[in-house]
Amino acid sequence: MGAGASSMMGPEGYGRGWGQTSLGDMPESCVAAVLLYLDPPEICKVARLNRAFRGAASADCVWAAKLPANYRYLAALAAAADDDSGGDGATEGNGSRCSSAAMIKKEIYARLCRPTPFDGGTKEFWMEKNKGGLCISISSKAMAITGIDDRRYWSHLSTEESRFHHVAYLQQIWWLEVAGEIDFCFPAGSYSLFFRLQLGRPHKYMGRRVYGCESIHGWNIKPTRFQLSTSDDQQATSQYYLNEPGNWILYHVGDFVVSSSDQLTNLKFSMMQIDCTHTKGGLCVDSVFIYPKGHRHEDCTICK
């Protein structure tokens, strides 16, 4: 009886009787049609079920639907970054360079989910693993900061709390103005732009994270003004009183919409506090982040 029961099991552990089919008998094309409705992490999970699911989970038709329309543009940037780094970031499975012609779509998706530096390492882009949305970060070193070369006002601090491993620290100034811009082919969609700032100088004491608050002043008198504008005349403005010393805050500047994935968008952004009736200081300027609108932030407080 035991032998009879054993003979009714499918090759991958699924029960079947004589003349019956199992989950493992589904054609890969049918499985792929189902996987189109799943997010990438879910596709990777169901790939463990059996051979049919494993094959369908690597099919180009599945991953092509998850990639942005201009993935070739993004893959070319990633390939250039891999070449500049000597190939350290190019390996994915078979060790190939990031190339939209040579790699299967699943490998391209995986590569684009890893950070890709560009513009001399002052900017990075990557895709969200769950939804494939494009994210960009722009270092403070890529921005024009009034007085940045005068050590009486500003200094560059090394810190592990920045993805670029450094921040611009304001000691004291009368006129604060920080501005930057980026030219990029964004996939079509809606995006939000944030400044990542902190009041207080970050450092460690006896292995613990602490911050220096002795230079923090002037931020509760007048609000700081944030702006963005795009090459197709979209504009947004916001203003905030900077607060919560010792915490990194994402200050929401505004949103913009990209209608075409094939057109270069010029995006300009700035923050300023130019009321010269008082000085202000003790501010860390880390970077600007661009996220798909509605992106969930789990490691930083958002100010809207």
Cα–Cα distance list, 164 to 138, 167, 168, 184, 211 (Å):
9, 8, 11, 20, 19
- Nearest C-alpha neighbor of 194 from the set 113, 249, 118: 249
To the nearest 10 degrees (0 to 180), the angle between helices 71-84 and 105-112 is 70
**What is the pLDDT at residue 51?**
82
Tokens of 226: 């944030």
pLDDT tens across the length of the chain (304 residues): 444 444 334 444 444 555 566 666 677 678 778 788 888 888 888 888 788 888 888 888 888 999 999 999 999 999 999 998 775 544 444 444 555 556 899 999 999 999 999 999 999 999 999 999 999 999 999 999 999 999 999 999 999 999 999 999 999 999 999 999 999 999 999 999 999 999 998 877 777 777 778 889 999 999 999 999 999 999 999 999 999 999 999 999 999 999 999 999 999 999 999 998 999 999 999 999 999 998 877 667 887 7
Residues 6+ apart with CB under 8 A from 124: 115, 116, 117, 118, 136, 137, 163, 164
Task: Please state the length of the chain.
Answer: 304
Residues 46 and 23: their CA atoms lie apart, in Å, by 12
Domains of the chain in sequence order: 26-64 (no CATH), 118-290 (2.60.120.260)
Q: How far is CA 119 from CA 27, 84, 134, 217, in A?
A: 46, 12, 17, 34
CA pair distance 154, 215, nearest whole angstrom: 12
What's this model's pTM, rounded to 2 decimal places? 0.84
Tell me how many degrees the CA angle 237-169-278 measures, rounded to the nearest 5: 65
Strand 265-273 versus strand 176-184 pairing type: antiparallel
Q: Are 191 and 293 in contact, with CB atoms under 8 Å apart?
A: yes
